[in-house]
Structure 1
Amino acid sequence: MEHHGERYERGLKALQFVSGQAEPNVVDIATAPDLARYVVEFGYGEVYSKPGLEPRDRQLVIIGALAALGNAAPQLRFHINGALNAGRTRTEVVEALTQIAVYAGFPAAINAITAAAEVFAARDAED
């Protein structure tokens, strides 16, 4: 990605932390370079990087929101992985996603737990 200043660099650093990758690619840069820049600059450089919550807590909030949406499985898997990278345990992730059943319904919680199982299996396969 092209460099766009301090906000971009701050966002890229946060995105690298969440993804665990030196070259994270959350958006197809060739197809949507502006969207990729917005994600890095605003999503991670502004909102995610604000003081007030630790990354491990932000990740728990993010996976709850994505699970409740029910239509963001790739992003949910990405952020479940990010929650684990930020120090959350598998038990904490499962408990947070189980809580979703009360507020967003059982289908959303079941889909989220399925996404978590996929992430856990992929991480186990890497070990």
Structure 2
Amino acid sequence: MLQASPKHPAPDRYQQGLAKLREIDGEAGERVIDSLAGIAPDFARYLIEFPFGDIYSRPGLDLRSREIAVVAALTAMGNAAPQLKVHLQAALNVGVTREEIVEVIMQMAVYAGFPAALNGLAAAREVFAAQELEGASA
């Protein structure tokens, strides 16, 4: 896990972001951060501090609503499958149902086109299948 250093002390927003990341993404979020340690540790710190420490921690929306928005945005982008998969799992973690996820992705066909929605549905199918395998092995 990313550690603070004298060059980059761990301010409150880092700790708040790390706690929020763990709450939303669990191990998947930590794997993303760990994967950046060897190539861009500062970017990993930014990822914890800004999105999770500053934005996700704001009081205006609950985590469920935030993840619905992220799933919609990443689906609409059409080219962010790895990030979409992490946030599909996060959406499930914070109480968004599979049916709601599918509806959000289908809604994006109207605004981002069928290819983006098809890519989103393919990512959802993978995440749902992995969740079923995990459940079967537990």
Short-chain TM bin: over 0.9
CA distance in 2, matches of 1:45, 1:72: 22
CA distance in 1, matches of 2:130, 2:56: 25
Task: Determine helix, strand or coil for the equivalent of 1:25.
Answer: helix
Select the residue among 26, 31, 35 that pairs with 1:20.
26
Q: How many Å apart are 1:22 and its aligned residue? A: 8.7
Q: Tell me the residue number matched to 2:77.
A: 69
The number of residues matched between the two structures is 127
Q: How many Å apart are 1:21 and its aligned residue? A: 2.2
Return the letter of the residue paired with 2:132: D
Q: How many Å apart are 1:26 and its aligned residue? A: 1.8
User: Structure 1: which 5+ residue stretches go unaligned?
Assistant: none
- After TM superposition, list the pairs within 5 Å mapping 1:88-127 onto structure 2: 88-127=96-135
CA distance in 2, matches of 1:86, 1:12: 16
Larger Rg: 2
**C-alpha root-mean-square deviation of aligned residues, in Å?**
1.3
CA distance in 2, matches of 1:113, 1:6: 37
Task: Determine helix, strand or coil for the equivalent of 1:36.
Answer: helix
Moved over 4 A (4+): none
Query: Normalising by structure 2, what TM-score?
Result: 0.88
Query: Normalising by structure 1, what TM-score?
Result: 0.95
Task: Determine helix, strand or coil for the equivalent of 2:30.
Answer: coil
User: For structure 1, which segment, 17-26 or 72-81, has the greater mean C-alpha deviation from structure 2 after superposition?
Assistant: 17-26
Q: How many Å apart are 1:20 and its aligned residue? A: 2.1
User: Structure 2: which 5+ residue stretches go unaligned?
Assistant: 5-9
Select the residue among 16, 26, 45 that pairs with 1:37.
45
CA distance in 1, matches of 2:92, 2:28: 17
Q: How many Å apart are 1:25 and its aligned residue? A: 2.7
CA distance in 1, matches of 2:43, 2:97: 31
Identical-residue share of aligned pairs (%): 50
